[in-house]
Amino acid sequence: MADELVHYEVRRGIATITLDSPHNRNALSTRLRAELTDRLEAATADDAVRVVVLSHTGPVFCSGMDLKEAGGASAGEQGVNEFPAILERIWTSPKPVVARLAGPARAGGVGLVAACDIAVAVDTATFAFSEVRIGVVPAVISVTVLPRLLPRAAHELFLTGETFAAPRAVAVGLINSAVPAEELDAEVTRYADMLALGAPTALAATKRMLREPRSSDLGEVFADMLELSAKHFGGPEGQEGIAAFVEKRAASWVPRD
């Protein structure tokens, strides 16, 4: 629909969710949050969707919470109260999520980027944890950002609010790749196509494995990982993948043109 703030499209197993509120730099307004939540739920529920791409229109990926809405509201009325559920939906999505940034991200927008499994930005994009400069704390986004950032960089960037460029974002672990603008879509497609080669259940299980804490007991960890590995080797996807490899054909889950 022309008046929606978040668009949704599925092609070749890839769902593209596009933030389209350029008038306020794709700020996380009440309406945008609601529509983004709906689109994420739709992608999760659709068995035809293998990979999700989070994109945007306009020059800014996302500027964070809508400060015009936040002004004058009490703690219990702040839109940030709804934000953890959005970040958790992306972080725990059984389907890989790729962030596509053709422009800057700030504050909550950086939290969205960090929640995604893979993030690709133009090399001119900039980032900032600007919260302390307006008297607030980057608390909610720290849940997704801190697992990505090098600890020393996290202290520096959270405390100073300094703007940093895409190459630095790659160096500190926030994004995977920074490319010239004319190469952005090709780079996003490259990642999405690679992700679509993975088996759906195996991808979901791998995502769970990556985010779950591990015991300090090495023997216990090996036992758990052996159980997980054997389960998937002997499962229907594992057996289909092995057969496809032996028969030199694409596995049944690989999207067809």
Residues annotated catalytic, as ranges: 131
Nearby residues of 95 by Cβ (< 8 Å), 6 or more positions away: 43, 44, 49, 50, 51, 52, 200, 203, 204
Longest dimension (CA), the chain: 65
Q: Helix (H, G, I), strand (E, B), or coil: what is residue 5?
A: coil
Count other C-beta atoms under 10 Å from residue 159's C-beta.
11
Contact 132, 138 (CB under 8 A): yes
**Residue written as token pair 């190459």:** 167
Q: Which amino acid is at 238?
A: G
Question: If 0-12 CB within 10 Å is exposed, 13-18 middle and 19+ buried, where does residue 68 land?
Answer: exposed
Compute φ and ψ for 158, nearest 5 degrees. Answer: -70, -40
Which segments of 182-257 are extended strands (E)?
A: none
Compute φ and ψ for 8, nearest 5 degrees. Answer: -140, 130
Q: For residue 99, give Cα distances in angstroms to 17, 151, 161.
A: 10, 22, 22
Contact 174, 118 (CB under 8 A): no
Contact 112, 62 (CB under 8 A): yes
Q: Helix (H, G, I), strand (E, B), or coil: what is residue 14?
A: strand
